[in-house]
């Protein structure tokens, strides 16, 4: 496997939404044509060998997805995964977004110290978090949704417990290090949200 092909595959794997060939080329510091060539090789590998992963392309954008043959299995899994209680990592990520919005994935990961791509995807599917591209900063930023506030009975994030105190990286980091109150408090509220969403 070529080094470039390996890098393209890694980026496609960690990207939770379609990404353009031009963006991949920009990140990798190569020409779009070079990325196109590697994408063709990746597509041949995944799409023709009965794999559970497919590479789809549309309007110069590409994404790795689950194969259609496994759609029912995946849907059942995601349904059970997304209707259950949020995990501690999900609650921590949601808490960071709520207290620091708008915030980038890189900033979230700097606070948590781990990759948050799948967690953010699940939170967006649940309707708790939304993403918006910031053209000035050329980054995607995450915020909580109005539904999140509505279900918590809040009119603003400033009404969250100890919002002023925790509205900083340093204090949020201390929160997770000491496993203090807020994650448990947030968990109770999220459980209530999930019950109401039914």
In 3D space, the residue among 105, 94, 108 whose CA is nearest the CA of residue 152 turns out to be: 94
What CA–CA distance (Å, rounded) separates 50 from 183? 42
The CA dihedral of 122, 126, 129, 135, to the nearest 10 degrees, is 70
Where in the chain are the domains? Answer: 3-69, 84-197
Looking at domain 84-197, its CATH architecture is Orthogonal Bundle (1.10)
Q: What pLDDT, in 10s, does the model give residues 78-103?
A: 665 555 667 788 888 888 888 888 88
Q: What is the pLDDT of residue 81?
A: 53
Looking at domain 3-69, its CATH architecture is Orthogonal Bundle (1.10)
Q: What is the mean pLDDT of residues 116-135?
A: 87
Q: Say what the pTM is.
A: 0.49
Concatenated DSSP letters of 27-45: HHTS-HHHHHHHHHHHHHH
């Amino acid at each position: 496997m070529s080094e470039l092909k390996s890098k393209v595959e890694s980026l496609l794997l960690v990207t939770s939404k379609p990404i353009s060939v031009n963006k991949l080329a920009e990140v990798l510091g190569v020409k779009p044509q070079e990325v196109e060539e590697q994408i063709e090789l990746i597509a041949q590998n995944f799409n023709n060998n009965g794999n559970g992963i497919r590479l789809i392309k549309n309007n110069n954008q590409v994404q790795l997805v689950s194969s259609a043959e496994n759609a029912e299995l995946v849907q059942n899994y995601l349904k059970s995964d997304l209707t259950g209680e949020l995990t501690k990592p999900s609650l921590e990520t949601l808490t960071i977004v709520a207290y620091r919005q708008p915030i980038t994935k890189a900033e979230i990961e700097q606070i948590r110290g781990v990759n948050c791509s799948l967690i953010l995807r699940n939170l967006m599917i649940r309707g708790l978090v939304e993403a918006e591209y910031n053209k000035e900063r050329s980054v995607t930023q995450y915020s909580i949704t109005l539904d999140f506030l509505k279900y918590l009975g809040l009119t603003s994030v400033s009404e969250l417990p100890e919002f002023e105190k925790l509205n900083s990286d340093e204090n949020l980091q201390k929160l997770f290090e000491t496993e203090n109150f807020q994650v448990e408090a947030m968990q109770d509220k999220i459980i209530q949200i999930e019950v109401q969403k039914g």
